Amino acid sequence: MVRVTELVIEATGLRCRYGSFEAVRGIDLSVRRGELFALLGTNGAGKTTTVETLEGHRAASAGTVRVLGMDPVADKARLRPRIGIMLQESGFAGELTVAETVELWASVTTGGRRLDVLELLDLGHRARVMVKQLSGGERRRLDLALAVLARPELLFLDEPTTGLDPESRRRTWDLVRTLLAEGTTVLLTTHYLEEAEELADRLAIMHRGVVAVEGTLADVLATEPSRISFALPAGLTAAELPPLPAVLTSHVLDQRVELSTADLQHDLGVLVGWANERGVRLSRLRASHASLEDVFHGVRGAVERAGVAG
């Protein structure tokens, strides 16, 4: 049986301008039903502009955009009941209590979740407090509660955990995981790489208006070299180490060897095999794939070099 993956969001050649400045410069994005797709990027990369375009808040200057099979601007009214949006700042009336705000929002959406979502986000005890009296983190959680109230098919989360303490961040992640398990599709933007590592099925990193890398976390991490380091066994020099075919760079400082490799499994195998055969120990041996932070730095460098070259 052929499984067809339904694309909930599909953008092709998307470009967005502010006057003469092009903030998004021809990106392709596809988000599959039921996944969490994380859109990451440097400051000013164009994430918010992209997300606002997908939400139907601004028109693309070029390219095609389909959200749940519809044009987000032309079909905004039909699309709106099916999507949930958590903006960086929502404009709810500060004079209403938390409970009144939820009731009001539930009455204008098709929602059935109502106050239980406040419990899930540890806001139940704040139900009678006026919105304007909430702390920044509580306000953020209320924004999330409202975005998920109507059980949207597609949820846009724009930096949902900024300003949250670690416990609140965990609760938010738990709620997002519950929604994913129920089949909700989520587009997340975040500056917290750990958040993307925790939650994302696939991700893209933007820099200066373009998508620099995209794929599963494993795909993305594989775009940067892995690292091996160890102490050179006493009495040996680096010249006596076996040839490691995938090594890209190597440094020896105070008997400590640091290597970067394009094939961690292979080179590590050769190195450990060689040490075992010679009966020497590679003390303080460490091997790790690249981190998302390494990829981030790599992206910035690569796009900037390409910009200079072009």
Question: Site residues (CB under 6 A) for ligand ATP?
Answer: 18, 21, 23, 41, 43-49
Query: 19 or 243, CB closer to ligand ATP?
Result: 19
- Amino acid, single-letter form, for residue 39: L
Distance CA 293, CA 276 (A): 33
Query: 205 or 247, CB closer to ligand ATP?
Result: 205
Distance in Å, CB of 209 to ligand ATP, minimum:
7
Distance CA 276, CA 243 (A): 15
Which residues neighbour 24 within 8 Å (Cβ) at sequence distance 6 or greater?
14, 15, 16, 46, 49, 50, 53, 209
Distance in Å, CB of 279 to ligand ATP, minimum:
53
Helices (H) then strands (E): counts for the chain: 10, 13
Query: 47 or 171, CB closer to ligand ATP?
Result: 47
Which residues neighbour 255 within 8 Å (Cβ) at sequence distance 6 or greater?
231, 232
**Structure-derived torsion over alpha carbons of residues 97, 145, 29, 191, reported in degrees to the nearest 10:** 80
Query: 23 or 154, CB closer to ligand ATP?
Result: 23
Q: How buried is 191 (Cβ within 10 angstroms: 0-12 exposed, 13-18 middle, 19+ buried)?
A: middle
Query: 208 or 227, CB closer to ligand ATP?
Result: 208
Query: 41 or 56, CB closer to ligand ATP?
Result: 41
Query: 87 or 129, CB closer to ligand ATP?
Result: 87
86, two tokens: 């958590």
Distance in Å, CB of 206 to ligand ATP, minimum:
6
Distance in Å, CB of 166 to ligand ATP, minimum:
22
Distance in Å, CB of 41 to ligand ATP, minimum:
5
Closest CA to 176 of 213, 207, 209, 147: 147
**7 within 8 A of 54, measured Cβ to Cβ:** no
Distance CA 34, CA 51 (A): 18
Closest CA to 115 of 94, 96, 130, 100: 100
